[in-house]
Amino acid sequence: MVRNALAFVALGASLAGGIAVSRGHARAPMTCDVAIIGGGPCGLATAIALSKARSLKRCTVRVFERDHLEPKGAAVALSPLAWAVLEAIDGTASARIRREGSPVEAVDMRPLHTRDASAGDAAAAAARDAKPGPPVLHALWAAWLRALGLGERVQTTFLWHDVRAHLAVRARELLGPQGVALGVDLVAIEPTRAPEHGHEGLTLRFRRLNRDAEREADELVCHARLVLACDGVQSAVRAAAPAGPRAAEILLDEEKSVWRGISPTTDVRGRATFYKDTGAGAGASASAGRMGVLFPAGRGRGASWTVTAPAVPGRARDFADARARLLTALGAPADGGAAARAAGPSADAAGVVAVVDEVFAAALAASSCIVEHRLVSRNWDAPWYSGVPRVAYLGDAAHPLRPTGEGLALAFEDAWTLGKLAADANSADDFLRPQTLRAYETARLGRVRAVADATSAAARAAYAGGGARAPPTQPPARTVAPAAAGAHGAGRLVEVAVPAHAALGRADARPRDAGAARALTLAEAVAAHPLHAPLGPL
C-alpha cells in the first residue's frame, strides 16, 4: 500500500534527480510545457488532470517539490464534494486513497476545559461529566456544523501524507518517473525575453536540497511555458515572481494560532469531538475563543487533533517549543511550558494539560510532533488575477480557507478546472498561453469567494461563544491590472489579453457588509456558484 508507494516514489526521485542536475554545477536547462510548483495534493492532482488531455499528449508536465515526500502533516477530511471532484479527475487514485480513510460516523460537542487548575471548579467538573456536553453548547456547535454543511453528511478522514503518497504514485504512472522532481527549492523566476527555447515563457531556478547535508547543493534550471503555483500559503512562486502582490498583501492574519498533531495510540472509534471554551478553565477570562477537535486520522492511524486559540506572539522553534506554547494557550499553570519541555511526549505531560478534557489531554500528550502556525485567510481586496501572465495560483496559494474541511475540495476543483480547459483546447498552443490562465481565474473567482465567505461566517459564529471580535481590518483595495504588472525591469514578460474586469481585485464579489444579508451556508454557496462546466470525468 502506502509503504510500497513510497518505495516507488523514492526510486523515481533518485532517477529524476540524477538526470536533471549534476553535482556542483548546473547542466543545460531542462524544458517543460507546464511546471507545477508544489507536490502536495493540489499540485499532484493538477498534474494528473492535465495528463488526461489529448491536447497535451505530446507535452511535458513536471511537478517540482521541495521535500522528499517524507511523512508529515496531520489528518485531513475529504468531504463528499472533494470525493466527487477527485473521482472526476482520476478514479484510480480516488479508489486507492479511499481505502486509507476512516469515516466520521458520529459527532460530539464538549467543553474544552473541565476544571480550573488553581482551584476546584464544581461547575466545570459538572460540565466535564455531562456526556454529550451542556445543551447550550451542543446547540451552538450543531448550528455551526449545519452552517458548514457538516451536520447531515459523513466526512472521511485521512492522513495528509497518505493522500499525497497515493497521488504521487499515480502522477508518476501517468507522467513517467521524471514527472515528479523532489528535493528542489524554487529560488528565482526570470522572464524569457526572447524565444531561445522555441517559445515564450519563464525560466525557473531551483536549489537542490540534498539529503546529505555535506554535499554541495546543485542547481536545476527549467524553462516552462506555463507555471502553476500549488505551493501553499507561503508560496515560493509568489515570493519569487517578478511582478504581482506578495504574501503580505494577499494574506490576512486572523489573529489565531493553530496547533495540529497525531496521536497514534488514541482510538476515537469513528467519532469526531468538538471542544469549545466555555470559560471554565484556567485563564479563560483572559483568553476567549479557544477551540479543539479530535477525530480519526485514517484507517489504523489513531487520531488527529487541532487546537485554535487567540494568537500567541512569536514562533515555535521546534516541536517542544510548540508544545509549550500550546499549553500556555490552553491556560496551563505558569510553569506548564517548562514542564512540557522536560516531559516531552510522555505520559507525564498529560498532567500538565489536566485543565482540558481528559480524553483530549491524553491525545495531546501522546503526540510526539506538534506543528504550529498562524491562521490566515485571503484578503479579497487584493488582486485575484496573477501579476505575471504565465503564472496562476491554485489551492492554498490562491485561496487559504478556515480549517473546515473544504480546502482540499476547492484545490481539487482548481485542478479539475484546468484539466477541463486542457480537455477543451484544440491544441497544445491553444492551451499553453496566458489567456488560458486568465480564463481559469475568471471561472474560479465567484465560487471560491462564496465558499470562503461561508466558511468565514461559520468560523466567526463558532468563535463568538468565547467573545466575538470584529474581523481583521483589510488594507485598501488595489486596482493594478495584471496587464500593467506585465513589465519587469527594462523588458516586458509576454503580451497577453486580460479581461476588462481584471483590474478589480474584488471583481464580482459581494459587499462585505455583514449586516446586509444572512451569510450563505456552504451548501447554499456551492449551489449559487456552480463550476464553469458540468462536473464529469476528464
pLDDT > 90? residue 66: yes
Closest CA to 377 of 396, 391, 405: 396
What percent of the chain is modeled with pLDDT above 90?
Answer: 55
SS3 399: coil
Q: Which of residues 81 and 210 earns the better pLDDT score?
A: 81
Give the three-class secondary structure for 109.
strand
Contact partners, residue 158, CB within 8 Å, separation at least 6 = 75, 76, 77, 78, 97, 100, 101, 102, 297, 298
What is the structure's pLDDT at 54? 98
pLDDT at residue 60, rounded to an integer: 98
pLDDT at 299: 92
Q: Does residue 205 have a pLDDT over 60?
A: yes
Least confident of 45-54, 87-96, 338-347, 502-511: 502-511
Question: 440: helix, coil or strand?
Answer: helix
pTM, rounded to two decimals: 0.81
Element holding 479 (H helix, E strand): none
Q: Do 279 and 285 touch, CB atoms closer than 8 A? A: yes
According to CATH, what is the number of the domain 2-93+161-245+383-449+479-518? 3.50.50.60
Would the pLDDT of 27 be above 90? no
More confident residue, 400 or 2: 400
Question: 37 near 237, Cβ under 8 Å?
Answer: yes
Is the pLDDT score of 20 beyond 90?
no
Within 13 Å and on the Cβ side, how many CA atoms surround 12?
28
What confidence tens digit (pLDDT) does each residue in 523-538 have? 899 999 999 999 999 9
What proportion of the chain, given as a percentage, has pLDDT over 70?
68
Give the three-class secondary structure for 3.
Answer: helix
Q: Would you put residue 325 in left (φ > 0), alpha (ψ -120 to 50) or beta? A: alpha
Q: Give the tens place of pLDDT for each residue, 295-347.
A: 999 999 999 999 999 999 999 999 999 999 998 898 876 454 454 444 454 43
pLDDT at 455: 86
- Residue-level pLDDT at 458: 80
Judge whether residue 269 has pLDDT over 70. yes
Point out the least confidently predicted range of 58-67, 78-87, 131-140, 196-205. 131-140
Residue-range domain boundaries for the chain = 2-93+161-245+383-449+479-518, 106-153+253-375
What are the pLDDT digits (tens) for 153-181?
557 899 999 999 999 999 999 999 999 99
217-262 pLDDT, tens digit each: 589 999 999 999 999 999 999 999 999 999 999 999 999 999 999 9
pLDDT in tens, 418-464: 999 999 999 999 999 999 999 999 999 999 999 999 988 887 776 66
- Range scoring the smallest mean pLDDT among 195-199, 213-217, 392-396, 478-482: 478-482
Q: What is the mean pLDDT of the chain?
A: 78
What pLDDT shows up at residue 358? 86
